Structure 1
Amino acid sequence: MSWIENINNQAMLLAPYFATSLTILLALLLDNILGEAKKYHYLVGFGWLADKIESVLNHNNIQQNSLTTAKTAPLKIKLLGTLSWCLLVLPLPIVYFLFINDLAWYWQILLDASVLYLAIGLNSLQQHAMQIYIPLKSEDIVKARHFTGYIVSRETNALSPQAMSRATVESMLENGHDSVIASMVYYIIGGAPLVILHRLANTLDAMWGYKTSRFNHFGYASAKLDDLLGFFSAKICTLLYSIQGDVKQSVTNAYQQGNQYKSHNGGWVMAAGATVMKITLGGNAFYHGKVITSPTLGLGNSVSIEDIPRSITLVKRAAITLALLTFFYQLVCYLL
Structure 2
Amino acid sequence: MLSFSLFCALLVGVMLDRWLGEPRRWHPLVGFGRLAMAVEQRLNRQGGVCAGTLAVAITVLPWVLAVVLLLQLLPGWAGWGLQALGLWLVIGGRSLAEHGRAVIVPLQGGDLTDAREQVGRMVSRDTADLDSEGVARAATESVLENGADALFASLFWFALAGLPGALLHRLVNTLDAMWGYRTERFERFGKVAARLDDLLGWAPARLTAISYALCGRFAAGLRCWQQQGRACDSPNAGPVMAAGAGALGVRLGGGAPYHGGWKDKPWLGEGKVASADSIAAAITLVQRALALWLVVLLGVSL
Q: Is this a same-fold pair by TM over 0.5? A: yes
Contact kept, 8 Å, 1:281 with 1:298, in 2: the verdict is yes
Alpha-carbon distance in structure 1 between the residues aligned to 2:251 and 2:6 = 36
Shift, 1:329, TM fit: 2.3
Query: Which of 24, 39, 42 is the matching residue for 1:53?
Result: 39
Aligned to 2:20: 34
Alpha-carbon distance in structure 2 between the residues aligned to 1:106 and 1:225 = 33
Is 1:298 paired with 2:258? Answer: no
Shift, 1:247, TM fit: 3.2
* Structure 1 residues 17 and 83: alpha-carbon distance in aligned structure 2, compared to 1, 3 A threshold: closer
Query: Which of 156, 160, 165 is the matching residue for 2:127?
Result: 156
Query: Which of 209, 222, 236 is the matching residue for 2:180?
Result: 209
Alpha-carbon distance in structure 2 between the residues aligned to 1:256 and 1:103 = 49
Is 1:79 paired with 2:50? Answer: yes
How high is the sequence identity, in percent, across the aligned residues? Answer: 40
**Unmatched 5+ residue regions in structure 2?**
none
Alpha-carbon distance in structure 1 between the residues aligned to 2:39 and 2:73 = 32
- Taking structure 1 as the reference length, what is the TM-score of the superposition? 0.86
Alpha-carbon distance in structure 1 between the residues aligned to 2:220 and 2:292 = 20
Higher radius of gyration, 1 or 2 = 1
Shift, 1:255, TM fit: 2.9
SS at match of 1:281: strand
Is 1:43 paired with 2:29? Answer: yes
Q: How many residues get paired?
A: 301
Q: Which moved more, 1:169-178 or 1:291-300?
A: 291-300
Taking the TM superposition and a 5 Å limit, the aligned residue runs for 1:89-108 are: 89-101=60-72, 103-108=74-79
SS at match of 1:297: strand
SS at match of 1:28: helix
Shift, 1:252, TM fit: 3.3
* Structure 1 residues 267 and 102: alpha-carbon distance in aligned structure 2, compared to 1, 3 A threshold: farther
Taking the TM superposition and a 5 Å limit, the aligned residue runs for 1:307-322 are: 307-322=278-293
Taking the TM superposition and a 5 Å limit, the aligned residue runs for 1:1-336 are: 18-60=4-46, 77-101=48-72, 103-331=74-302
Whichever residue aligns with residue 216 of structure 2, its letter is: G
CA RMSD of superposed structures (Å): 1.6
Whichever residue aligns with residue 222 of structure 1, its letter is: A
Contact kept, 8 Å, 2:137 with 2:275, in 1: the verdict is yes
SS at match of 2:264: strand
Shift, 1:103, TM fit: 4.3
SS at match of 1:172: helix
Alpha-carbon distance in structure 1 between the residues aligned to 2:24 and 2:56 = 27
Q: Which moved more, 1:92-101 or 1:259-268?
A: 92-101
Shift, 1:286, TM fit: 1.4
Contact kept, 8 Å, 2:17 with 2:93, in 1: the verdict is yes
Alpha-carbon distance in structure 2 between the residues aligned to 1:290 and 1:17 = 49
Contact kept, 8 Å, 1:19 with 1:105, in 2: the verdict is no
